[in-house]
Chain A
Amino acid sequence: MAARTSTHTEEAALSLTLAVVASSPGPLLLLDGEFNIVAASASFSRAFEVDAKAAIGQQLSSLGAGEWAIPQLRSLLAATISGGAEIEAYEVDLKRTGQGTRRLVVHAQKLDYLDLENRRLLMAVSDVTDTRADAKIKDDALRQNLVLLQEVRHRVANSLQIIASVLLQNARKTQSEETRGHLRDAHHRVMSVAALERQLAGSGDGAVPLTAYFGSLCDSIAASMIGDAKQISLSVAGPGGVVDARVAVSLGLIVTELVINALKHAFPEGRPGTIVVACDFRHANWSLSVSDDGVGMPKDPALIHTGLGTSIVEALARQLLATVEIGRAHPGTRVVIAHTPIALVKTDVEREGKTPAIARPAA
């Protein structure tokens, strides 16, 4: 009686086990110590086109057309069954003739249960071929995007190079001193945009550190407009800050104008002096100034020359929702571009519904 009950319990337990394996949602194999198949899930059958019932009692390596006879897999299973290892996630290629290779991730574990004599191994298989393919497509697309971005950057640099060169060439060939001056100024304005491009190529995220950018601009202008004989120093001061490229372009053009102005008018007849570009862009209220210690502006306002440069500065300042203040520096001149939101209540610009340019605080 007792013997029959225990056999019945055993049979019930075994049948439950086999049912559990058979119904596994993911492909699952139950193997014995010699890697014969004790049970195979229906999902395994479907996924790998193997007859589950016919597989029982077969060697794993003789399944199908022998595609499961993978040496590394066998050694890993051997290590697992002897208790030496548990395969967490082993990647293996399943090569089926005429079918294309599938990329599999195998989990194998020795089962710890009451029967110590009959060793059992549970092997779960995931087909990750499609997931891997998708990931590779995404990776390739990303890499392609970076390459394209580089190419665009490169083309922009080349285009600016051509424009800057053409303006300079034009200046050379022009008879009129005045026109030559205008063309060289235009060259400087283009270089101010070009310097930004150089800066951005280095940074990578479109954020422009202003001290470095203005420094580069000043070096460029100084190289061209301050000859050996002139003793004019041009430098950048102030806490600086970081802004995005659009704002940086406008600021760069403003600095270019004001510096060129100072170089042209503040130091006549070889007078030595200093020009300082200072800026503070750490907060919402920002300011930019260009000061010189030169001869200062003419006392008669009617004599102050308002050319293209002045209108560029005013237009850009307006766009940045900033004010332009020109004052005496005792000696010399100081031009301050300032953005103070509190002071800009009910200006024309705000009535038009535009939003102020926001400066990012320094990193």
Chain B
Amino acid sequence: MDTSRASAKGKTILIVEDDILPAMALRDELDGAGYHVLDLTGRHHEAIRAAQDHKPDLALVNIELHGHDDGIALAVELKELGIPSLFISGQTTRARSAQTAAIASLPKPYSPIEMVNVVAYLLGRLNKDQSLSCPAGLEIFGPALDEATPQLA
């Protein structure tokens, strides 16, 4: 646990989920693991504002958002801002069909505890660190992940 806290330091996470209870559980679990979690939101425009203001390292995006907001469209916009997204959704087929918009997909139901490992793994991969093993149930979108990994200067 100590090593994970060290690697979590300084990393910011944006959660875009309009189901408030799972969102809170996620936030608290990630916060407990040492990540800085931005204010919870389920709205597209709030998420974009938060992304522009705080430049999170990773966004956890539910595909199904309130009203007409669409998680996939949001992920595309976040990608343009240089922020990689992880789809968290019950709709795995929709997630898979949008695999250029996000770097991976974790289907519901997941345990917030599992999410801590997933976030650690993805942030590691984005930093070209392959030391952690891929958590079970996480579906990686290879090409998108490669694209999001910053090249060494």
Contacts and interface: CB of A to CB of B under 8 A. Distances in A.
From B4, B32, B92, B136, residue with most partner A Cβ within 10 Å = B136
Contacts of A187: 111
Interface stretch (B19-27, B40-48, B72-80, B140-148): B19-27
A212 to B, nearest CB: 10
B70 interface: no
B135 A219 contact: yes
Contacts of A224: 111, 113-114
A229 B111 CA distance: 21
Contact of A216 (B3, B19, B91, B136): B136
A168 B109 contact: no
A165 B92 contact: no
Interface residues of B, number: 29
Interface string A149-173: 0000110011011101110110010
Nearest to B93: A150
B42 to A, nearest CB: 13
Interface string A126-154: 00000000000000000000000000011
A53 to B, nearest CB: 61
B1 interface: yes
A79 B128 CA distance: 68
Contacts of A257: none
B28 interface: yes
B1 A154 contact: no
Interface residues of A, number: 28
A169 B91 contact: no
B90 A229 contact: no
Contacts of A280: none
Interface of B: 1-4, 19, 21-22, 24-26, 28-29, 32, 90-92, 107-114, 116-117, 135-137
Contacts of A227: 1
A224 B135 CA distance: 12
Given A164-B109, A216-B136, A220-B111, 18 more contacts: A154-B91, A158-B108, A160-B108, A160-B109, A161-B19, A161-B22, A161-B90, A161-B109, A162-B22, A164-B25, A165-B112, A166-B25, A168-B111, A169-B25, A198-B107, A224-B114, A227-B1, A229-B1
B117 to A, nearest CB: 5
24 contacts: A153-B90, A157-B107, A157-B108, A158-B19, A161-B110, A164-B25, A164-B111, A165-B21, A165-B24, A165-B112, A168-B112, A169-B25, A187-B111, A191-B111, A198-B109, A215-B136, A219-B137, A220-B114, A223-B114, A223-B116, A223-B135, A224-B111, A228-B1, A228-B4
Q: Taking each of B19, B24, B28, B90, which has the highest tally of chain A beta carbons within 10 Å of its own beta carbon?
A: B90
A312 interface: no
Contacts of B117: 223
Nearest to B118: A223
Nearest to B2: A228
A158 B17 CA distance: 12
Nearest to A215: B136
B50 to A, nearest CB: 21
Interface of A: 153-154, 157-158, 160-162, 164-166, 168-169, 172, 187, 191, 194, 197-198, 201, 215-216, 219-220, 223-224, 227-229
Contacts of A165: 21-22, 24-26, 112
Interface centre among B1, B24, B109, B114 (most CB of A within 10 A): B109
Contacts of B112: 164-165, 168
B61 to A, nearest CB: 15
Contacts of A157: 90, 107-109
A280 B19 CA distance: 40
Nearest to A224: B113
B24 A169 contact: yes
B7 to A, nearest CB: 11
Nearest to B111: A191
A198 B26 CA distance: 19
A165 B107 CA distance: 15
Nearest to B4: A228
6 tightest A-B contacts by CB? A165-B25, A194-B109, A219-B136, A157-B90, A160-B109, A154-B90
A223 B1 contact: no
Given A154-B90, A215-B136, A229-B1, A169 B111 contact: no
A198 to B, nearest CB: 6
A219 B136 CA distance: 7
A223 B25 contact: no
Nearest to A161: B109
